[in-house]
């Protein structure tokens, strides 16, 4: 009898703990074993090693495969992936997928890109193609370009174009402070960013194809493009024409803006919800940063999050919301920030430890990217809630902002 | 009684087994499923660096600042710490705060007196420590700049003299990972134009 009560007590404690942290359940048994074989010749050892790691990470993050050594696979239930990466005329990649015994060729494709340093994009594309060929859910998100603003000194930051693993990097915008990059369209051919040099803060649109930047709007105080409508015509801006940060909807064609929030404190980070008639934003109207929402044509504001005392960053995709929440109270030094997702009325954690901020949905909403700060360095974290896969990539830069 | 107890224990086990937290499932939505491509990557402008730089600037010593910090984290206006133009005094703020603490009204008075005989323009720059994130930190810097401007206008300085800007956490004067450094970065600087 006594042991039963003790058991009951222990289980009660265990249940209480499980409610406050994310349980990552690895259902390895349902994943297909796949072996990777690098048959490239003439590659520098560092590139050879890095390419192998990229294949492995892509396959792992799909949630559909478990990479294994070739000696451990056999039969038709497993796969063998062979790749040949070379540097003639840019980067060339040939990928072949065999069944486990290596006898049956299932898939083969060649890929090429104009310069060799872009080879990570070839690897990502080949894995998303193989994933699709085998009938799994789309993982086109690994092909997306990532924009990162990183600090390079006091009063200096630059915007860098990367792949999702931050292996490929190209500096696009330099000189002065270049902040808050935001993709201008789904095809990722141009982006908005805030430029602060000697004059007023200004938002420019930069075309990746032409290298031309166009001035969009300038204003005193602060100016940020937080979100772009699905048709690309309307922007949610944080502006402060009177020194007061509020959210405005800016019509790109007419250049007119409508003030959506009107609060004497801080309203920032406006994000469209699915119908684009509602926005989610960060406000300190309760005395601390928290997540709120409102219709664009109504002054009524409603609180979305009822947990945490510092929820200061958010993103949306469709009707889903992700936000970062500070969960420790150190005035100085490191704090615990976790990422939470709100979906279908439920809120659940995406991360369970560390200093995790800047949550961003993938374009299809299936994966969440975030930045983890640790010992002065930044890491890009990825969580696929459907497959429970997660991965950190080292960035080696101090990140100001990202968009995906 | 024993049977009842055992039954209770059995159902308790069933309850907790059912409550084991499993993988969160995220319903898919139809938004943003358009076909995407990697895009054409412009080869210009040219790459300058991609190695990344950790900010290591600032050479101010931070000895004994902490002992003189007010409970709110502000720094006393003893003239030791300043990043404003000559004759003007930076205003320091508490953690996550944009109100002027008592210690700092001396700095406001000093700035107001100095500006009464000044005919040029002043840029008021709001700054933050590195602990905020994203847009909210820039808004915090803006609110700090705005309240300093409002305090100076209340002292009789014309509003037309000022422009305000937030630099967020981008422009630290000290980058050591110590409390005193963070306090020095939560500031408003006044720069003669």
pLDDT at residue B43 is higher than 50: no
Q: Pick the more confident residue, B64 or A40.
A: A40
Interface test with A, best of B93, B139, B182, B184 (most A CBs within 10 A): B139
Residue spans of beta strands (DSSP E) within B33-161: 91-92, 122-126
The pLDDT of residue A107 is 92
pLDDT at residue A127 is higher than 80: yes
Q: In which band, very low, low, confident or very high, does the pLDDT at A333 lie, cut at 50, 70 and 90?
A: low
Identify the H or E element spanning A172: strand A169-173
CATH 3.40.50.10070 residue ranges of chain A are: 28-140
Give the mean pLDDT of A71-84. 78
Tokens 């994203």 belong to which residue? Answer: B134
pLDDT at residue B143 is higher than 60: yes
CATH for the stretch A144-403 = 2.120.10.30
Specify the DSSP class assigned to residue A221: B
Domain ranges of chain B: 66-192
Whole-model pTM?
0.81
pLDDT at residue B26 is higher than 50: no
Nearest-Cα residue of chain B relative to residue A4: B9
Identify the H or E element spanning A7: helix A2-18
A344 in reach of chain B (CB within 8 A) = yes
Q: Which of residues 26-65 of A touch B (CB under 8 A)?
A: 27
- Please, are residues A289 and A283 in contact by the beta-carbon 8 Å criterion? yes
Q: Pick the more confident residue, B48 or B122.
A: B122
A301-331 residue pLDDT tens: 999 999 887 898 999 999 999 999 987 666 5
Nearest-Cα residue of chain B relative to residue A264: B143
Q: How far apart are CA B48 and CA B56, in angstroms?
A: 20
B13 in reach of chain A (CB within 8 A) = yes
Q: Pick the more confident residue, A16 or A262.
A: A262
Q: Is 3.30.1330.60 the CATH number for B66-192?
A: yes
Q: In which band, very low, low, confident or very high, does the pLDDT at B74 lie, cut at 50, 70 and 90?
A: low
Distance from CA of A103 to the nearest CA of B (A): 33
Kindly list the residues from chain B whose CB atom is less than 8 angstroms away from the CB atom of residue A188.
36, 38-39
- Please, are residues B135 and B175 in contact by the beta-carbon 8 Å criterion? no
Tokens 């699915």 belong to which residue? Answer: A274
Distance from CA of B117 to the nearest CA of A (A): 25
B27 in reach of chain A (CB within 8 A) = yes
A343 in reach of chain B (CB within 8 A) = yes
The pLDDT of residue A76 is 59
pLDDT at residue A72 is higher than 70: no
Q: Which of residues 132-161 of B touch A (CB under 8 A)?
A: 132-136, 138-143, 145-146, 149
Say yes or no for a CB contact (<8 Å) between B39 and A186.
no
A344-362 residue pLDDT tens: 889 999 998 888 989 999 9
The pLDDT of residue B60 is 28
Distance from CA of B66 to the nearest CA of A (A): 12
Rg over alpha carbons for chain A, rounded to the nearest Å, is 23
A211-261 residue pLDDT tens: 999 999 999 999 999 999 999 999 999 999 999 999 999 999 999 999 999
Residue B63, exposed/middle/buried by CB under 10 A (0-12, 13-18, 19+)? exposed
B78-88 residue pLDDT tens: 567 788 998 99
Q: How much is the ipTM here?
A: 0.86
pLDDT-above-90 percentage for chain B: 39
A263-281 residue pLDDT tens: 999 999 999 998 899 999 9
pLDDT at residue A31 is higher than 90: no
What count of other Cβ atoms lies within 10 Å of the Cβ of residue A148?
Answer: 27
pLDDT at residue A22 is higher than 70: no
Q: How far apart are CA B88 and CA B111, in angstroms?
A: 5
Q: In which band, very low, low, confident or very high, does the pLDDT at A128 lie, cut at 50, 70 and 90?
A: very high
The pLDDT of residue A181 is 97
pLDDT at residue A175 is higher than 50: yes
Q: How far apart are CA A292 and CA A270, in angstroms?
A: 10
Q: Pick the more confident residue, B52 or A193.
A: A193
Compute the mean pLDDT over every residue in chain A, rounded to the nearest whole number: 87
The pLDDT of residue B190 is 97
The pLDDT of residue A331 is 55
Q: In which band, very low, low, confident or very high, does the pLDDT at B51 lie, cut at 50, 70 and 90?
A: very low
Closest CA to B124 of B75, B91, B101: B91
Q: Count CA atoms within 13 Å of residue A342 on its CB side.
A: 21
A104-114 residue pLDDT tens: 899 999 999 98
- Please, are residues B102 and B153 in contact by the beta-carbon 8 Å criterion? no
CATH for the stretch A28-140 = 3.40.50.10070
The pLDDT of residue A157 is 95
Residue spans of beta strands (DSSP E) within A273-354: 278-283, 290-295, 301-303, 313-317, 320-326, 337-343, 346-349
């Amino acid at each position: 009898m006594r042991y039963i009560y003790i058991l009951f007590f222990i289980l009660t404690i265990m249940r209480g703990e499980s409610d406050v942290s994310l349980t990552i359940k690895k259902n390895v048994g349902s994943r297909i074993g796949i072996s990777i074989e690098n048959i490239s010749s003439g590659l520098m050892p560092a590139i050879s090693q890095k390419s192998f790691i990229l294949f492995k990470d892509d396959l792992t993050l799909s949630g559909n495969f478990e990479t294994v050594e070739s000696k451990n696979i056999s039969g038709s239930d497993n796969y063998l992936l062979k790749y040949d990466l070379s540097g003639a005329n840019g980067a060339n990649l040939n990928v072949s997928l065999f069944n486990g015994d290596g006898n049956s060729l299932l898939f083969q494709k060649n890929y090429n890109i104009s310069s060799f340093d872009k080879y990570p994009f070839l690897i990502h594309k080949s894995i998303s193609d193989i994933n699709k060929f085998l009938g799994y859910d789309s993982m086109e998100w690994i092909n997306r370009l990532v924009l990162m603003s990183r600090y390079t000194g006091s009063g200096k930051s630059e915007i860098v174009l990367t792949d999702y693993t931050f292996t490929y990097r190209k500096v696009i915008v330099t000189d002065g402070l270049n902040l808050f990059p935001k993709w201008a369209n789904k095809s990722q051919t141009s982006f908005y960013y805030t430029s602060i040099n000697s004059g007023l803060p200004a938002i420019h649109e930069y075309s990746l194809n032409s290298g031309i930047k166009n001035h969009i709007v300038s204003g005193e105080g602060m100016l940020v493009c937080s979100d772009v409508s699905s048709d690309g015509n309307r922007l949610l801006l944080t502006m402060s024409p009177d020194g007061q940060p509020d959210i405005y909807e800016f019509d790109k064609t007419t250049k007119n803006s409508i003030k959506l929030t009107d609060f004497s404190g801080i309203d920032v980070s406006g994000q469209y919800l699915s119908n684009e008639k509602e926005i989610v934003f960060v406000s300190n109207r309760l005395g601390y940063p928290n997540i709120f929402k409102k219709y664009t044509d109504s002054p009524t504001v409603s609180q979305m999050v009822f947990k945490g005392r510092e929820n200061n960053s958010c993103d949306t995709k469709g009707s889903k919301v992700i936000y970062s929440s500070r969960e420790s109270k150190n005035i100085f030094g490191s704090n615990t920030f976790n990422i939470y997702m709100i979906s279908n009325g439920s809120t659940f954690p995406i991360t369970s430890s560390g200093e995790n901020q800047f949550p961003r949905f993938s374009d299809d909403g299936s994966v969440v990217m975030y930045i983890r700060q640790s010992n002065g360095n930044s890491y890009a974290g990825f969580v696929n809630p459907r497959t429970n896969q997660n991965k950190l990539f080292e960035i080696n830069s101090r990140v100001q902002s990202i968009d995906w | 009684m024993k049977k009842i107890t055992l039954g209770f224990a059995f159902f308790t086990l069933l309850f907790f087994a059912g409550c084991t937290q499993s993988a969160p499932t995220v319903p898919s939505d139809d938004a943003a499923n358009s076909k995407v491509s990697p895009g054409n990557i412009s080869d210009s402008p040219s790459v300058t660096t991609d190695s990344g730089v950790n900010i290591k600037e600032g050479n101010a010593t931070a000895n004994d600042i902490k002992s003189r910090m007010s409970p709110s984290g502000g720094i006393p206006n003893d003239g030791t710490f300043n990043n404003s133009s000559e004759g003007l005094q930076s205003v320091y703020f508490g953690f996550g705060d944009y109100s002027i603490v008592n210690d700092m009204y001396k700095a406001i008075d000093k700035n107001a007196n100095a500006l009464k005989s000044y005919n040029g323009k002043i840029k008021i720059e709001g700054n933050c420590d590195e602990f905020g994130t994203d847009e909210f930190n820039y808004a915090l810097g803006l609110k700090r700049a705005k309240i300093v401007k409002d305090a100076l206008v209340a002292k009789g300085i014309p509003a037309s003299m000022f422009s305000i800007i937030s630099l967020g956490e981008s422009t630290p004067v000290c980058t050591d990972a110590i409390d005193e450094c963070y306090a020095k970065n939560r500031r408003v600087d006044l720069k003669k134009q």
